[in-house]
Amino acid sequence: MTGPLAQANPRAEVPLLIDGPDVRIFESTVILEYIEERWPQPPLLPRSPAARAFARQTEEICDTQYEAINWGWGEILWFRRAEGELAKQLGAEARRQTRLMQEWLADRLGQAVRQGSRRGGRQP
Ligand SMILES: N[C@@H](CCC(=O)N[C@@H](CS)C(=O)NCC(=O)O)C(=O)O
């Protein structure tokens, strides 16, 4: 594979962060870590180690479990890996799993906000 994206990222995937002439960062988690270190104010992560771990766990679940659900559905939607009744069943399952993930995320993000407000600010 050739082209500017493939030169910057051997996987030729987005997201890709370009920072000046020499820095090319791929992988969303690594990009977030780079942003946090390169531009520390305002911080992306909360202050306490426990709250930071909570935020990182949330991101990890999105990167792995949630992405797998999205990707699986994308294989059917974009690449037509299944058709007919099987595609319908897999679509229904993807919707069910997406709903569970959304509920889990809403609850988890609510917990993070509540933890922050108990400590008198948005950042726990
Ligand atoms: N683990 C990577 C996943 C990146 C990824 O899956 N990118 C997709 C779009 S969301 C992509 O660029 N796929 C190549 C393509 O669509 O041709 C990350 O977190 O950055």
Q: Identify the pLDDT of residue 37.
A: 97
66 domain-assigned: yes
43 domain-assigned: no
* Mean pLDDT across 36-65: 94
Secondary element (H or E) of residue 112: helix 84-118
Predicted confidence (pLDDT) per residue in 23-36, tens digit: 999 999 999 999 99
**Ligand 1 midpoint to CA 93 (Å):** 22
pLDDT at 122 over 60: no
The residues lining ligand 1, judged by C-beta closer than 6 Å to any ligand atom, are 13-15, 27-28, 63
C-alpha torsion 123→51→56→15, nearest 10? 10
Query: Do 34 and 56 share a domain, yes or no?
Result: no
Number of domains in the chain: 2
pLDDT at 55 over 70: yes
Domain range for residue 56? 49-118
Q: Identify the pLDDT of residue 124.
A: 40
**Ligand 1 midpoint to CA 124 (Å):** 30
Q: How far apart are CA 92 and CA 124, in angstroms?
A: 37
Q: What is the mean pLDDT of the chain?
A: 91
Q: Whose CA is closest to 60, among 119, 8, 104, 16?
A: 104
- Which residue type occupies 87? A
- Residue 32 in contact with residue 39, Cβ under 8 Å? no
Pocket test for ligand 1, best of 1, 14, 16, 28 (most atoms within 8 A of CB): 14
73 by DSSP, 3-state: which? Answer: helix
